[in-house]
Structure 1
Amino acid sequence: MTPFRTTTSRTTLRAAIGTVSAAMVAGTVLTVAPATAQAAPANPAAVSGAPSVKFVDIKGEGGITLKANVFTPAGAEGSRRYPLIVLPTSWAMPQIEYMAQAKKLADAGYVVVGYNSRGFWQSGGEIETAGPQDVADASKVIDWALAHTPADPHKVGMGGVSYGAGISLLASAFDKRIKAVAALSGWADLIGSIYSGRTQHLQAAAMLGGAGELTGRPSPELRRILKDFLTSNLAREKDMIAWGKKRSPATYLDKINANGAAIMLGNAWGDSLFPPNQYAAFYEKLKGPKRLEFRPGDHATAEGLGLFGLPNDTWTDTKRWFDHYLKGTDNGINRESPVLLKSRSTGAYEGYKSWKDVPSAHRRIALDGSRQIHTNLDSGADGGLIFLSSMLDQFFRLPPMASVPLLPRSLAAVWQSERYETGQRVRGTTRLHTTMTSTADSGTAIAYLYDVGPLGLGKLVTHAPFTFYGKTPGKPFGVDLDLFSTAYDVPAGHRLAVVVDSVDPLYIAHNPYGARLTFSSPAGDPSYVSVPVRD
């Protein structure tokens, strides 16, 4: 194989880690402050009608200590039992992360145990990245709660944000006592999330690694995996994929289905760590009670304000989910459309019977002719920055932008649709099919779909990276790529543009010096982009 260079230097890697680590610390401070305020009374049980709260140590797998807090409904006494909800913390977050929501759930009659995942903050052990020990810890916490609180052993739920979501889904495969799960901003396929298109998601991995070092004790295995990942050590690729598969709920789908827990999945369209595609694919394969919710935003921002105790649609539906499947409350959530989408453009909610029913049609944009680009220089088209770009889209409807007419054609291949006389409601997963030829045996390309206004300004609708290895230089090969799923409305009078270049700050690119990529459309196998729309 011809040696390749990554377009990201070690200096850039360090800078990326430092930037996202600082952002993570800032996010931690913001999240902790309101939760601390919730726990301010010296004796919460003394407050009239307030649930009791106490901080406890729970023995986890292997005898380590898990730092936890326990909320018990006010007036709990005698032999009465209450539904139990267990909340593992997010990556790098302290045990008070869920204090505001735990109090609300306890007010509603739940015993709630929030605990710090192993390896982070004051909990013992090392960061195992949702490995078998983390799954065993979840069962240990349930054991403890059933032995030390008035929790009902027949009404056990788990939930959480991000890391807590992944652990909850994995635990539902191995602990039959879990009857309901709310997995918010989590993952079903770990490698499919941060290594989609066989491309390293640089900023995502740097954030996880940096935050882990700052707030916990990464295991030697995790440090090795991250090092191999960020340095593109292909000799260890199989080990990395096997490591990720062991930590992916999708691997244990049959067990999850056999146990029958009611699974609610929530995510954001612009999630920088766990793109929505992998959750949607997982959802379609679940056989028990299930629900899928997608909203605008980035990783954990759709439910983030709820951690402050503020009104939040995601947490409202989470409580309704637990109320129905743990308490048996007839609140109608089981009769609603199980797929709930919130448009990035209008903020309106839409309900569907299934994920495959989201688009009503697919419209093709022909990628005709031939385009050749030089690699390793940024064309100006990119997916933005983790957290910042999708949060700007969430709160101000300002996605990453690019002037499509000014994109240098030597660095970016560009195709455009005709202007649409009526608006186009993009809903679902856009797919690209093309024929590529490279002057090298390895390389990376990133595909973008832009909403282009009359002045040529393009707003990013979606994108995805693709990396290849072991190809014969000069020999064409087919490429099929799913872009990240979304819900976006293209106004009447606008057009869609497809752009492909070779550099994006979100990813590690693998293009040798001087390499060129050519995109063609053979008569017998024409190239196109298929855009899912809702008429």
Structure 2
Amino acid sequence: MPKRTRFTLWRTFVTAAVAALTAALLTPAAAQAAPRESRPVYSYADAIRESVWVDTGLDEDGDGRHDRVAADIVRPSEPARQGRKVPVIMDASPYYSCCGRGNESQVKTYDAQGHVVQMPLFYDNYFVPRGYAFVGVDLAGTDRSDGCVDVGGRSDIRSAKAVVDWLGGRAKAYSSRTGGTPVKAGWTDGSTGMIGKSWDATIANGVAATGVKGLKTIVPISGISSWYDYYFAQGAPLYDGGPDELAGYVESDDAQAHCAAVQKELADGSPRSGDWTPLWTERNYVKDAAKVRASVFLVHGMQDLNVRTKHFGQWWDALAKHGVERKIWLSQTGHVDPFDYRRGAWVDTLHRWFDHELLGYDNGIDREPMADIERHPDHWVTSTSWPPRDTRSVTLHPAPGAAAGVGTLGLRQAAGTASFTDDPARGETDWAAAVTTSGPEKAGFLTAPLSHDLRVSGSSRVTVTARSSTASAHLSAVLVDLGPDTIRDYADAAEGITTLADRTCWGESTAGDSACFKDTRARTADVDFTVVSRGWADLGHHASLDRGAPLTPGKAYTMTLDLAATDHVVPKGHRLALIVAGTDKDLIDPPSTRPTLTLDLSRTSARVPFTGGTDAFVRATSGTTPAEPEPAPRHGHGVRAPENPRHVPAG
């Protein structure tokens, strides 16, 4: 697993020194007794449960005093009595009271003294008996915390970072929300790992991007890496609402009464024009990837249409560029936690990851394959690196075909045009279902049936040169695997899983906090095609994301669309298709007009990352003449879209 370069020599020296000291001072039997796994030797029933309020140094709610955020703590009592310190697993969330956490929508509950009784999810039940503390943080403006929700901005990130600083002895905390006595975290060794899904994962990304000391690792599950890309796709609006609406959904009654100014800042800073504003710059964690000190175990569903896979793709590439230690799981699900689609393997892997990163146990997880990928429902494969080292982006060119609107896709550049008229009533599944026939709403381009499997691994880009008949136009580009398959039904309401009545237990329980959760199984669908990747853009932002401009009808504009990251094998006998169209129903909002767009095919192309590069594409398409060698990559279903009317990145 790649390591941050500037730490390599230091780690080598320390490892050698420790090995020499061990050999000199310990017998072989003692050396072999070094722990490789934390064991459940501590009592969960007797765990210490306490709450502190950490000073953020901000006054977002304007009440004249620093905002304090609530941190509920569950930690084993035995190490404290023995004078030993423990590491921390932390989940900072806006969901602990408003919306619930996990597949069963659990919320925090408290006893009469205000101590947490139920901590959602299994983390405390499982890890506290193994010698970890668990800390559940209410983000500023939510549940029992002061302040205001600012949706990924300085208040969100600083409220969580302040807790990491307090755990490391660098911030102040108190025994109550107002007043109280100072509280120190003398029970922890200052090593913290952050975990969470969706908004929680986003906070982990954002805190890691500050470079805060003591944050050793993060495990972001379906996390946002840039909030602009949650609401817009290169100028094209993805949702009706904005961050002000999302803040209102999760904030406490107190915050609703005192945070009107912050709500206005959110609304004013996120215009529906799709223009990039300073608000989005503040909420772009990718630009600060160089500051990340923590290792990253990233998890994402490849059919997540809530937090789209562009988020993990650009974050992963930025982390790779800066040599961050990392690991990745990619499932066929939508917006789903791995606890609910690969439970046993997930708990085991997460346990070993935290043991390695927070306790320093040499359990070999850092020498295992970097990537686990769900190739078919419940069938997983691994990759030593991700994307595989021999992956290269290949330039594919669309060409006119015998039938209007149905062309070919290959290595040779071709002249010609293709036209379509935006139809907001149709989307990617409609286009894919009819890609082999002509139609006015899309332009489709297909390879011949493949003679060998062809693996797409990473992020694609589609460059389009188009003329619009009107002053506004949106574009969609979609890669499709044409052929029958059985996949997870990601467009079902549960996004690829079915929840069962039976329960399994993961850790210890108390009367108020059960460690037993409902089992799940894969929910599958038989399909004739699978959407592999998609991307969208507003053609009016062709020159810059900073400000869109009206189009001159009939004038040619060139724009490159970023397609979402994926890992998908197009099997032998299937075909790979590129579809270019207008509004993708339910996934982007339509423009103000209904344009007809004409593509200049000689200036339209797709850059697709194939494992094996051009040679693999030539082999799979049976002897097409290869183009010039491609440069190395930068280090940079046919079912309906899921319904999510509030567009909340659910926990």
Q: TM-score, normalised by structure 1?
A: 0.75
Conserved in 2, the CA contact under 8 Å of 1:342 and 1:348? yes
Give distance in 1, aligned partners of 2:46 and 2:556: 66
Match of 1:54? 49
User: 1:372-391, aligned counterparts within 5 Å?
Assistant: 372-382=419-429
Distance apart, 1:53 and its partner CA: 4.8
Residue number in structure 2 paired with 1:73 = 76
Cα shift at 1:413: 1.2
Q: Which residue of 2 aligns with 1:232?
A: 272
CA distance in 1, matches of 2:261, 2:424: 34
Out of 358, 367, 374, the position equivalent to 1:326 is 358
Flag the 1:513–1:156 CA change in 2: closer, same or farther, 3 A: closer
Structure 1 residue 520 and structure 2 residue 633: aligned? no
| Residue deviations 1:388-440 (CA, integer Å, cap 9, x gap) | xxxxxxxxxxxx98422586621111122111123333322233233211123
Q: How far apart are the structure 2 equivalents of 1:120 and 1:265?
A: 26
Moved more, 475-484 or 501-510: 501-510
The answer to whether residue 580 in structure 2 is matched with residue 500 in structure 1 is yes
Read off the aligned partner of 2:85 and give its amino acid letter. R
Q: Number of aligned pairs?
A: 458
The separation in 2 between residues aligned to 1:60 and 1:315, in whole angstroms, is 33
Distance change >3 Å, CA 228–CA 351, structure 1 → 2: same
Q: CA 1:514 to 1:83, structure 2 compared with 1: closer, same or farther past 3 Å?
A: closer
Q: Which runs of 5+ in 1 are unaligned?
A: 1-46, 383-399
Q: Which amino acid aligns with 1:232?
A: R
Q: 1:269-311 CA deviation, whole Å, 9 max, x = no partner?
A: 1222242322322332332322233222223x133539xxx93
- 1:192 matched to 2:229? The reply is yes
Q: How does 1:24-63 map to 2 (within 5 A)?
A: 50=45, 52-61=47-56, 62=58, 63=66
Find the partner of 1:532 among 610, 614, 627: 610
Over alpha carbons, which structure has the higher Rg? Answer: 2
- Partner of 1:80, secondary structure, is coil
Segment of structure 1 superposing worse, 506-515 or 180-189: 506-515
Distance in 1, Cα, partners of 2:152 & 2:46: 31
Measure the CA separation in 1 of the matches of 2:264 and 2:158.
Answer: 23
What is the letter of the counterpart of residue 605 of structure 2?
S
| Counterpart check, 1:162 vs 2:240 | no
1:82 aligns to 2:67 (yes or no): no
Secondary structure of 2:379's aligned partner: coil
C-alpha separation in 2, matches of 1:194 and 1:138? 23
What is the SS of the residue equivalent to 1:75? helix
The alpha carbon displacement at 1:465 in A equals 0.7
Q: Where in structure 2 are there 5+ consecutive unaligned residues? A: 1-41, 59-65, 101-106, 109-117, 170-182, 401-415, 486-526, 541-548, 617-651
1:433 match: 463
Quick check: 1:51–1:73 contact (8 Å CA) kept in 2? Answer: yes
Following superposition, the deviation at residue 110 of structure 1 comes to: 0.7
| Distance in structure 1 (CA, Å) of the matches to 2:457 and 2:307 | 21
2:532 counterpart residue number: 461
Aligned-residue offset at 1:238: 4.1
Partner deviation per Cα, 1:290-342 (whole Å, 9 max, x = no partner): 2233222223x133539xxx935445433322211221101112222334433
Verify the 8 A CA contact 1:73 1:109 in the aligned structure 2.
Answer: yes
Mapping for residues 143-292 of structure 1, pairs under 5 Å: 144-145=166-167, 147-149=183-185, 151-172=187-208, 173-202=210-239, 209=245, 212-213=248-249, 216=252, 217=255, 219-220=259-260, 223-224=263-264, 227=267, 232-233=272-273, 237-239=275-277, 242-256=278-292, 260-271=293-304, 272-275=306-309, 276-292=312-328
- C-alpha displacement of 1:495: 1.3
Write the letter of the residue equivalent to 1:373: F
Shift of the 178–407 alpha-carbon distance from structure 1 to 2, 3 Å rule, reads same
**For the Cα contact (< 8 Å) 1:437–1:519, is it kept in 2?**
yes
Shift in CA distance, 508/137, structure 1 to aligned 2, threshold 3 Å: same
Which one-letter code corresponds to 2:232 in the other structure?
Y
Equivalent position of 2:147 in the other structure: 125
- Closer, same or farther: CA 321–192 of 1 in aligned 2, 3 Å: same
Q: Distance in 2 between matches of 1:436 and 1:512?
A: 18
TM-score (norm 2): 0.63
Paired residue secondary structure (2:367): coil
What's the counterpart of residue 125 of structure 2? 103
After superposition, the Cα gap between the structure-2 partners of 1:472 and 1:361, relative to the gap in structure 1 and judged at 3 Å, is closer
What SS does the aligned partner of 1:355 have?
coil
The Cα offsets for residues 466-521 of structure 1, whole Å up to 9 and x where unpaired, read as 11213432122223223112122323222122222212234444534342111122
Asked if the contact 1:86/1:158 (under 8 Å) is kept, the reply is yes
Q: Deviations over 1:208-238 (max 9, x none)?
A: 935842654464466446656886246xx34
Which of 134, 157, 160 pairs up with 1:135? Answer: 157
> Alignment partner of 1:317: what SS?
helix
Structure 1 distance, partners of 2:191, 2:431, is 48
Tell me if structure 1 keeps the 8 A contact 2:247–2:263: no
Does the alignment pair 1:357 with 2:389? yes
- Structure 1 counterpart of 2:340: 305
Which amino acid in the other structure matches residue 80 of structure 1?
R
In 2 relative to 1, CA 192–51 (structure 1 residues): closer, same or farther, beyond 3 Å?
farther
Query: Partner letter of residue 197 of structure 1?
Result: Q
Alignment RMSD (CA, Å): 3.4
Deviation at 1:267, TM superposition (A): 1.9
CA contact (8 A) 2:269 2:279 kept: no
* Matched letter for residue 69 of structure 2: L
Residue number in structure 2 paired with 1:423? 453
